[in-house]
Structure 1
Amino acid sequence: MTEGTRRLFIAVDPGEACHARITGAVGQARAHAPRARWVRPEGIHVTLVFLGAVDASLVPAVVAKMEDVAGRHAPLTLRFEGAGCFGGRKPRVLWISVAGDVPALGLVQKELSEALTEVGYVPEERLFSPHLTLARAGFGGTDAGLWAAARSLAAESFGEVEVRELVLYESVLSAAGAHYEAVARLPLGGLPAPLH
């Protein structure tokens, strides 16, 4: 990061009720992978676009692109249930699955990616796979305990949420680690965003 840049990403939130259920379940799952780096409960979200370091002068243009895309899409419903890992036999990331209006969410993600190329974003080549990241492998890059944690969460249901907004977040680094601050909230379908 250089001076004058901001580390940004666009996400949707699972909502307070789902956060509470996830927090409760994760408390027990952590015992299976104590060396993993667990995401703080308030940092759990579905990332749509990771922009990375963005020149601060481009933030208004990013918000304008988000507003345009958000205005074309109705609110959608997502469910959070089950768990798995990325990395196959060498698990690197523990996640919760996303179900519900996933095709509609994928269309929002696709349109965001395309619109943001005009402000320098380079879309990822891998397919969009919505999920909630719970933990990442610590030292060494893999952690077999993540599979045990995933198995302990496999039958869990964490509820559903009506997604009514897209959120532009800034990842702010501090001595205590990264935390996320909302830069802008853009309502889907032209509906007013709920107060937070």
Structure 2
Amino acid sequence: MTDVTQGTRRLFIAVDPGEACHARIATAVDRARTHAPRARWVRTEGIHVTLVFLGAVAEALVPAVVATMEDVAVRHAPFTLRFEGAGCFGGRKPRVLWIPVAGDVPALGLVQKELSEGLTEVGYVPEERLFSPHLTLARAGFGGTDAGLWAAARSLAAESFGEVEVREIVLYESVLSAAGAHYKAVARLLLGGVPAPLH
């Protein structure tokens, strides 16, 4: 959408892998971090599967975003995802360390597609690249690449981080501070049902 300005909120829609997966990831990351000490590691509690990154959304449009999420969520039943292994984006110049998503990825992809299409009515421009669901663990620090990320990926290649039954999609606000970004849930929409948005 647009850059963050006064009267806007930096929003994205995601699936939360759950506390059990977060705990397994935290344990594995403690070991993998030694391979890429200069990388910028994501806080474990902030790790999620991003479906749609909206960027800055005018406050007045937030209810329309939630309404679109409601329309999509009510049409889909819960499904199961698994998280295992690791990889890097960037080829020979690795930029991002991530965990791939397995399980009922077609169901996840359909939810993502319908969200992307529905949100065009509030100004969202769908990404041209193919949806590639993943959990981001770390990004290269200064310089843009970090060979240590490949070593970290190899150390996690045989890891299984568990599975989760996805029962909701979540609208998050990314709140920036000197300590980095933290994520606040704005609304949680149950798949197959529509609870009230959070305040």
Match for residue 167 of structure 1?
170
Cα drift, residue 149 of structure 1: 0.2
| SS of residue in 2 equivalent to 1:54 | strand
Give the Cα separation in 2 of the matches to 1:186 and 1:48.
Answer: 14
Summarize the alignment of residues 12-161 of structure 1 with structure 2, pairs less than 5 Å apart.
12-161=15-164
Cα RMSD, aligned residues only:
1.0
Cα drift, residue 191 of structure 1: 7.2
| Structure 1 stretches lacking a partner, 5+ long | none
Match for residue 188 of structure 1?
191
Give me the identity figure in percent.
Answer: 90
What TM-score, normalized to structure 1? 0.97
Match for residue 176 of structure 1?
179
Give the Cα separation in 1 of the matches to 2:34 and 2:195.
Answer: 41
The amino acid of 1:60's aligned partner reads P
Query: When the two structures are aligned, how many residues end up with a matched partner?
Result: 193
Query: After TM superposition, where is structure 1 displaced by more than 4 Å over at least 4 residues in a row?
Result: none
| SS of residue in 2 equivalent to 1:149 | helix
The amino acid of 1:43's aligned partner reads G
Give the Cα separation in 2 of the matches to 1:159 and 1:16.
Answer: 10
| Structure 2 stretches lacking a partner, 5+ long | none
Give the Cα separation in 2 of the matches to 1:136 and 1:8.
Answer: 20
The amino acid of 1:181's aligned partner reads K
1:164/1:191 contact within 8 Å kept: no
| SS of residue in 2 equivalent to 1:190 | coil
2:188/2:195 contact within 8 Å kept: no
